[in-house]
């Protein structure tokens, strides 16, 4: 089959790699002719995600479509949905495009977000702080990623630095124990999921995913997540990020596409999130992905790009270079997956190399 991917970043690249292993063809749409996926896909259509003629060109050349990019505008999405085969549908994407919509939907379907408040202007900001109590985090409701457009407000003096977006959200800052995520793939018959990863962020960007230690709360998180996917009527791939504090877990955000915290599954599991997405798109039956060993995924940002290949000769070290041309600050340039490695051993063997970024 030929799979069309809207977006050609590293997620698109890894979808294309999985598709290739299964002898499928891939075509991606991306504004950048040298995007990461261009090195793997059979064809790149160069154009904007919101350009209907380009979306039509992609749609007309493929059997099935998926997206790896979340901010496609509604008009383009409606057109794709009406005219081509997009088995995930547009509803999960539409919901995830706005943090308030996303949290309202989570609440409606049995998940608990941290308390939040909609902010359109300075007055709302003050009211929100009164309601939630300090500290709080201000975020843009749309187009936010990797901590962009976010401000931690510890005291009223911090208000001066906040640049308000057209629409924003104020969230109670949660002093969580840790963050984790689950990635599920659902077809008409069942849901399968990757083992839950514990995620460590640095400056709002995912730094490490750690997999292998089952926390007792994971059973409850999995049950609630499956229930959420079913009652939300979502199909395809979905990642949910949570904050865990004591015996409680809080919905943070969701992504209806492969997720950075699932990169580890390429070498860490019997089937990766990309394999499973391809199976879903091509109507293969879904099998449960099994963890092969304790696994650590380390993101490599521009600042550390020179360290990407440091350990490449070692056994159980797997290098992924996204072949991006520009070393923009804090940009994700690649990742390293360490298999057969516990977090304790990662700290002893490798962590020092990446310190002081
Ligand atoms: P993005 O879309 O940029 O990933 P997130 O909402 O996931 O936005 O925020 C990025 C990171 O910032 C989170 O993974 C978490 O580490 C931290 N963070 C965000 N919101 C909160 C909060 N309400 N309380 C504590 N930490 C938060
Ligand atoms: Mg996030």
Give 322-343 pLDDT, tens digit per residue: 999 999 999 999 999 999 999 9
- pLDDT tens digits along 74-115: 778 888 999 999 999 999 999 999 999 999 999 999 999 999
Report the pLDDT averaged over residues 11-40. Answer: 98
Instruction: Tell me the mean pLDDT in the region 20-43.
Output: 98
| 29 Rama class: left (phi>0) / alpha (psi -120 to 50) / beta | beta
Between 181 and 81, name the one with better pLDDT.
181
Asked if the bond preceding 308 is cis, omega within 30° of 0, the reply is no
Please determine, for residue 193, whether its predicted confidence score (pLDDT) is greater than 50: yes
Mean of per-residue pLDDT scores for the chain: 96
Q: Tell me the C-alpha distance between 7 and 88, whole Å.
A: 15
Pocket test for ligand 1, best of 132, 172, 174, 204 (most atoms within 8 A of CB): 204
What percent of the chain is modeled with pLDDT above 90? 92
Q: Taking a C-beta distance cutoff of 8 angstroms, is the pair 244, 175 a contact?
A: no
* Least distant ligand from the CA of 261: 2
- Decide whether any atom of ligand 1 lies within 6 Å of the 114 Cβ: yes
Please tell me the predicted confidence (pLDDT) of residue 357.
Answer: 45
Q: What is the 3-state secondary structure (H, E, C) of 177-192?
A: CEEEEEEEEECCCCEE
Confidence band (pLDDT; 50, 70, 90) for 356? Answer: low
CA angle 254, 318, 180 (to 5 degrees): 25
CA dist., res. 77 & res. 75, Å (int) = 5
Tell me if 65 CB under 6 Å of ligand 1.
no
């Amino acid at each position: 089959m030929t799979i069309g991917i809207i977006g050609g970043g590293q997620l698109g690249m890894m979808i294309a790699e999985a598709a290739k292993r299964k002898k499928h063809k891939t075509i991606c749409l991306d504004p950048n002719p040298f995007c990461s996926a261009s090195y793997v896909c059979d064809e790149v259509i160069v154009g904007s995600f919101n350009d209907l003629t380009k979306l039509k060109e992609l749609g007309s050349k493929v059997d099935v479509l998926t997206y790896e990019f979340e901010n496609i505008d509604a008009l383009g999405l409606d057109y794709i949905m009406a005219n081509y085969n997009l088995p995930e549908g547009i509803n999960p994407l539409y919901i995830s495009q706005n943090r308030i919509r996303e949290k309202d939907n989570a609440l409606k379907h049995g998940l608990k977000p941290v308390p939040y408040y909609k902010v359109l202007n300075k007055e709302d900001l003050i009211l929100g702080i009164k309601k939630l109590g300090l500290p709080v985090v201000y975020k843009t409701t749309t187009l936010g990623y990797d901590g962009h457009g976010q401000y931690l407000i510890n005291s009223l003096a911090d208000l001066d630095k906040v640049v308000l977006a057209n629409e924003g959200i104020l969230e109670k800052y949660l002093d969580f124990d840790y963050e984790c995520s689950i990635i599920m793939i659902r077809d008409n018959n069942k849901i399968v999921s990757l083992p839950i990863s514990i995620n460590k962020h640095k400056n709002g960007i995912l730094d490490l995913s750690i997999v292998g230690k089952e926390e007792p709360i994971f059973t409850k998180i999995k049950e609630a997540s499956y229930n959420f996917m079913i009652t939300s009527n979502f199909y395809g791939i979905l990642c949910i990020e949570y904050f865990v504090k004591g015996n409680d877990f809080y919905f943070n955000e969701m992504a209806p596409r492969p997720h950075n915290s699932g990169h580890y599954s390429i070498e860490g599991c019997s089937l990766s999130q990309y394999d499973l997405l391809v199976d879903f798109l091509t109507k293969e039956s879904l099998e449960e992905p099994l963890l092969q060993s304790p696994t650590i995924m380390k993101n490599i940002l521009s600042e550390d790009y020179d360290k990407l290949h440091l350990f490449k000769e070692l056994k159980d070290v797997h290098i992924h270079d996204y072949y991006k041309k520009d070393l923009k600050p804090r940009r994700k340039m690649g990742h390293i997956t360490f298999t057969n490695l516990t977090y304790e051993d990662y700290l002893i063997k490798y962590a020092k190399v990446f310190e002081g970024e």
